[in-house]
């Protein structure tokens, strides 16, 4: 039972350590077969659309055709205008977390225009803008779903890509595509005062930082460290600052020192410099670690005060060793946090609307996605790539 739970929570995180890998992939394939048999019997109507994705861990992303279901009674069909590029897209496209189903169409920072609605849709009408983040469905019955924590659903939430599509028995396909069809309960409303393209990254980078900052009660009187000034990190700075905290950025990139202050940080530390790091030893209440690659988390645990917490949102491919004496002498905690549920995602969007917070973006075409992934790996993005999805209509 314990093992089963562990496996489920690994599946939820999209992260399957090698111990569970074989069984995990077999389970996913069985689930796909079962859904496919059922959907063949019930003949879910579909249409073909253009998408961009990968067909193997080592392949470049390319254009191909996928099927979407036609909207059923509670569905909303969204023409995708912009889609943010999250480092999780890269981890998944390249199978760094294992368990990627190919073909894989990444993208879970989706904004667009509603082009059709099912007969029973109440929340949206044709012509409205709508947004979709990392989740497109969940069991809706377990305690976590009832509490609005669908990201931790016990029955198995459906992620926007690389989950089993409960209607078609294929993988779910994300936002690097022309359109998406989602149950209205999982479609978010965008703040009207914010620029559409720059809102897209809030759907993952925004909620993934907002949720732990709120959970660990970041606010006035709290000193907060943000580690890794990438897509998540720069949103973490803006949101923690708007919550009233004192924010210190820890970066490996000398080129980002000035930006960190411009984004709202009270101070910035070049993390390779031991003397600069020592200034904050034992001083911080909370650290948000948004680093995508191997790094020494003990260096950041050592910055925490007594009872301070470090929360990992960054999810590097390999385990991160922890020295017990980074935790024991100061009763420190090490935690993790995954995206956020639907009500909290709407709350975050409204918070960002109120505080005029958007992402700093660099717009790209879908044809530039492979270069963008290479640049992401070098930390060369200020601070989120967003794909102008009109480019998918171009011939190339």
Residue 261 host element (H or E) = helix 257-262
Which is it for strands 267-270 and 110-117: parallel, antiparallel or unpaired?
unpaired
- CB burial of 294-311 (b: ≥16 within 10 Å; e: otherwise) equals ebebbebbbbbeeebbbb
Closest residue by beta carbon to ligand NAP? 230
Binding to ligand NAP by residue 298, rule CB under 6 A? no
Given ligand NAP, Zn ion, none, residue 142, with its beta carbon under 5 to 8 Å by kind, binds Zn ion
Rounded to the nearest whole angstrom, what is the least distance from the CB of residue 343 to ligand NAP in the complex? Answer: 17
- 109 φ, ψ (degrees, to nearest 5): -130, 80
Q: Could you tell me how many residues of this chain bind ligand NAP (CB under 6 A)?
A: 32
Given ligand NAP, Zn ion, none, residue 295, with its beta carbon under 5 to 8 Å by kind, binds ligand NAP
Asked whether 181 and 75 are in contact (CB, 8 A), the reply is yes
How far apart are the C-alpha atoms of 284 and 310, rounded to whole Å?
10
Asked whether 298 and 326 are in contact (CB, 8 A), the reply is yes
Q: Which of 30, 162, 189 is nearest to 106 (CA)?
A: 162
Which is it for strands 284-289 and 223-227: parallel, antiparallel or unpaired?
parallel
Binding to ligand NAP by residue 104, rule CB under 6 A? no
Q: Please work out, in degrees rounded to the nearest 5, the angle formed at the alpha carbon of residue 378 by the alpha carbons of 375 and 383.
A: 65
Closer CB to ligand NAP, 39 or 292, in the complex: 292
Where in the chain does DSSP place strands (E)?
46-53, 62-69, 75-84, 110-117, 129-132, 135-137, 158-159, 179-183, 223-227, 246-251, 267-270, 284-289, 304-312, 333-336, 361-364, 384-388
Identify the bridge partners of residue 68 per DSSP, sorted by sequence position.
Answer: 47
Count, residues in the chain = 396
| Selected binder of Zn ion within 13, 115, 142, 320 (CB under 5 A) | 142
Binding to Zn ion by residue 145, rule CB under 5 A? yes
| Selected binder of ligand NAP within 291, 301, 361, 369 (CB under 6 A) | 291
Closer CB to ligand NAP, 63 or 253, in the complex: 253
Binding to ligand NAP by residue 175, rule CB under 6 A? no
| Selected binder of ligand NAP within 204, 218, 304, 334 (CB under 6 A) | 204
Binding to Zn ion by residue 88, rule CB under 5 A? yes
Closer CB to ligand NAP, 313 or 358, in the complex: 313
Which is it for strands 110-117 and 361-364: parallel, antiparallel or unpaired?
unpaired
How far apart are the C-alpha atoms of 302 and 134, rounded to whole Å?
32
Closer CB to ligand NAP, 193 or 255, in the complex: 255
Site string for ligand NAP, 30-59 (x = CB under 6 A): ------------------------------
Given ligand NAP, Zn ion, none, residue 376, with its beta carbon under 5 to 8 Å by kind, binds ligand NAP
Which is it for strands 246-251 and 223-227: parallel, antiparallel or unpaired?
parallel
Helix (H, G, I), strand (E, B) or coil at 249: strand
Binding to Zn ion by residue 213, rule CB under 5 A? no
Binding to Zn ion by residue 209, rule CB under 5 A? no
Site string for ligand NAP, 347-366 (x = CB under 6 A): --------------------
Given Zn ion, ligand NAP, none, residue 252, with its beta carbon under 5 to 8 Å by kind, binds ligand NAP
Binding to ligand NAP by residue 376, rule CB under 6 A? yes
Binding to Zn ion by residue 155, rule CB under 5 A? yes
Binding to ligand NAP by residue 251, rule CB under 6 A? yes
Closer CB to ligand NAP, 103 or 206, in the complex: 206
Helices (H), 228-301: 231-242, 257-262, 274-278, 297-301
How far apart are the C-alpha atoms of 167 and 46, rounded to whole Å?
10
Binders of ligand NAP among residues 2 to 21 (CB under 6 A) are: none
Rounded to the nearest whole angstrom, what is the least distance from the CB of residue 291 to ligand NAP in the complex? Answer: 4
Give the interface with Zn ion as residue ranges (CB under 5 A). 86, 88, 138-139, 142, 145, 153, 155, 204
Give the interface with ligand NAP as residue ranges (CB under 6 A). 86-88, 91, 204-205, 208, 228-233, 251-253, 256, 290-293, 295, 313-316, 337-339, 376, 379, 381
């Amino acid at each position: 039972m314990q093992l089963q739970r562990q496996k489920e929570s690994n599946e939820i995180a999209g992260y399957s350590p090698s111990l569970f890998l074989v069984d995990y992939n077999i389970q996913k394939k069985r689930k796909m077969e079962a859904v496919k048999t059922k959907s063949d019997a019930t003949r879910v109507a579909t249409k073909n659309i253009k998408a961009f994705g990968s067909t193997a861990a080592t392949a470049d992303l390319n254009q191909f055709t996928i099927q979407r279901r036609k909207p059923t009674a509670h569905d909303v069909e969204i023409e995708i205008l912009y889609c943010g590029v999250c480092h999780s897209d890269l981890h998944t496209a390249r199978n760094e977390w294992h368990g990627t189903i190919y073909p894989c169409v990444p993208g879970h920072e989706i904004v667009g225009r509603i082009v059709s609605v099912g007969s029973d849709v109440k929340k949206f009408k044709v012509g409205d803008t709508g947004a979709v983040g990392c989740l497109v469905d969940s069991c809706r019955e377990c305690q976590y779903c009832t509490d609005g924590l669908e990201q931790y659903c016990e029955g198995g939430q459906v992620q926007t890509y690389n989950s089993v599509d409960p209607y078609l028995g294929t993988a779910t396909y994300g936002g690097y595509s022309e359109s998406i069809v989602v149950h209205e309960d999982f479609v978010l409303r965008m703040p009207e005062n914010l620029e559409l393209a720059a809102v897209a990254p809030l759907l993952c980078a925004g909620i993934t930082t907002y949720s732990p900052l709120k959970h660990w009660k970041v606010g006035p009187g709290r000193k907060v460290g943000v580690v890794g000034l990438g897509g998540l990190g720069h949103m973490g700075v803006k949101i923690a600052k708007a919550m009233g905290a004192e924010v210190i950025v820890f970066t490996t990139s000398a080129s980002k020192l000035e930006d960190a202050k411009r984004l709202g940080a009270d101070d910035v530390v070049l993390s390779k410099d031991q003397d600069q790091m020592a200034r904050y030893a034992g001083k911080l209440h909370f650290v948000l670690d948004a680093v995508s690659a191997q790094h020494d988390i003990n260096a950041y645990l050592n910055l925490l005060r007594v009872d301070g917490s470090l929360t990992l949102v960054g999810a590097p491919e390999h385990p991160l060793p922890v020295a017990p004496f980074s935790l024991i002498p100061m009763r420190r905690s090490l935690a993790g946090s995954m995206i956020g549920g639907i009500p909290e995602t709407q709350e975050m969007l409204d918070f960002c609307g109120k505080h005029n917070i958007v992402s700093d973006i660099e717009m790209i075409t879908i044809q530039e996605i492979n270069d963008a992934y290479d640049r992401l790996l070098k930390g060369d993005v200020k601070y989120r790539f967003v794909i102008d999805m009109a480019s998918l209509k171009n011939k190339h």
